[in-house]
Amino acid sequence: MAFFIRKYFAIALIGICLTGCQKGENDPLFSLQTRKARLTNEWKVSFSETTKGDTLFAFDGETESIKIGEVELASIPSEKKYTFERDGRFTIDITQTFPAGYLDTAIGSQTINTLETGTWSFAGGYGEVKNKEQLLLLPDRWERRVEGFAEVDVKTWDGQVNGRVYNLDMLKSKEMRWKYDLNSNTPIGVFIETGSIEFQER
């Protein structure tokens, strides 16, 4: 009798893991780690494609190309790092080297680092969206540094002014993929941004 009870609980535990751990369509079928444990890590962007209006930003892990149609506007060496802490804080660290004349026709190449920090939480659990199937980022600070210059541009926010929601299409222990559609309200209108981002554990 005890054997059958243990077997029943083992089957029930496996069932809970299969239904509870797999949130994204491409998540592992079985994982001993929760989604939070898998997300809490240091990540490097290995690939991304972003469309903003008629402009395509394509990143291969080392270089980001900016195109309008078939015309390439720039090819920018880049590094993009994301860190998620267990206490709900995140950091996005991006370094890009822009070619001479791209940002200002009067200056040479520039290396620019942007650092964004804020809080993260899982979202979902409504309609057809599973609980923890989405990720909400609420930035509270952004800074921009230009290599060789002492000045630092800083912006800070309170509340949920610039919250962004991403669909966690895949979240494994060493790989992650986001898909998203974002609408940004600006003084000159609404900008729609769609894309996907793939990550590898750093």
Please name which of 41, 59, 54 lies closest in space to residue 95, comparing C-alpha atoms. Answer: 59
Is the pLDDT assigned to residue 16 strictly greater than 50? no
Section 177-194 average pLDDT? 79
pTM assigned to the model: 0.83
* Tally of domains within the chain: 1
- AA letter at 165: V
- AA letter at 186: T
Is the pLDDT assigned to residue 19 strictly greater than 70? no
- Asked which of 18-22, 28-32, 97-101 is least confident by mean pLDDT, the reply is 18-22
Is the pLDDT assigned to residue 22 strictly greater than 90? no
pLDDT tens-digit series, residues 23-34: 556 666 567 889
Residue 155: give its domain's CATH number.
2.40.128
State which residues form the domain around 164: 2-201
Is the pLDDT assigned to residue 17 strictly greater than 50? no
Is the pLDDT assigned to residue 65 strictly greater than 80? yes
Place of tokens 């490097």: 44
Q: How far is the C-alpha of 195 from the C-alpha of 56, rounded, in Å?
A: 9
The tokens for 41 are 């890590």
